[in-house]
Amino acid sequence: MLRMEHNNFIVNPIGKGRILFYPYINYLSNIITATPSRRSSSTISIRQSCSKESVQELRSSDLVALEYANLKLKHHTIQEMGVGHVRIRQHVNPLSSAFQVPAQVPDWGETFCDSSLPLMVDIGCGSGRFLIWHAKGSPETKNFMGLEIRQKLVNRAQLWVKELDLNNICFLYANATVSFEQLVSNYPGPLGFVSILCPDPHFKKRHHKRRVVQTSLVNSILKNLSPGGQIYLHSDVLEVALDMRSQFDAHLDILQHIDTVDPSVFCDEHGWLLKNPMGIRTEREIHAELEGATMYRRMYQKRDS
């Protein structure tokens, strides 16, 4: 039995995991009733897996599984990932001495089938599903590299890459603030895209130095990004989104916001993108929208000169 609270969402007594806000229910209903030509492969899997009535019974983890159903990723135990019985931590301190060792630069010829292709780097890639989805959809036109500071997630993502037999993607255990410059500057092809999606917020002021978007990383991205290359940022925490935005907005002599380049892209009155431009949502994005949070999105393109 569902009960109404605050006039804007439904609460299931079973627990927080089943809070569903009306806008999200409407979003899923629109997906389910959309015409085939307007549905992506991920939304088609939602249509095949649930009806309107069952939408209200879905947990956020169920929605993640549905969004990425076409990847058909296998579940792996901690033992299979080769990391013992320790749980995967949600947050870590990137300033710890354990994370100051630069990642080894891969042999790009062995890592990718064609190392001359444009490279997309996802900083703080988490589980890797988001990047794997893109890699599977662009097998011959782009390469993809995920940087993640939690070894266990990297191990599992690498298992998925092997199982899917993808040769245009790799995951590296790396602290991006320490390793990004060395990695991308040694890549043979152009750096075409960088994403930083829902980075750890580190709310306390004394911990802001732990945030991934620091001056050194911003400068490295700008230096290595090829002309016409893009940067995509988003967060469900306004303070974090504003912090990232301010650091990249400080370089509008080099960058321009995507809506000034592509007239089909629309922003709200505050300059945030109205829609996700990536074709699929990250896991954190799915969780946040399920809980009624707002996603703050910003995309830049490097000027040609």
- Dump strand ranges (E) for the chain: 3-5, 9-11, 20-21, 119-123, 143-148, 169-173, 191-197, 225-235, 255-257, 296-302
Other beta carbons within 10 angstroms of residue 178's beta carbon come to: 17
Phi, psi at 51, each rounded to 5°: -110, 175
Residue 153's nearest CA partner among 202, 215, 81, 205 is 81
Q: Is the dihedral of CA 147, 127, 109, 196 positive or negative?
A: negative
User: How many whole angstroms from its chain centre is CA 221?
Assistant: 17
For strands 225-235 and 191-197, give the pairing.
Answer: parallel
Distance between CA atoms of 276 and 260, rounded to whole angstroms? Answer: 17
> Catalytic residue at 200?
yes
Residue in 62, 107, 122, 200 annotated catalytic: 200
* Active site residues per annotation: 200
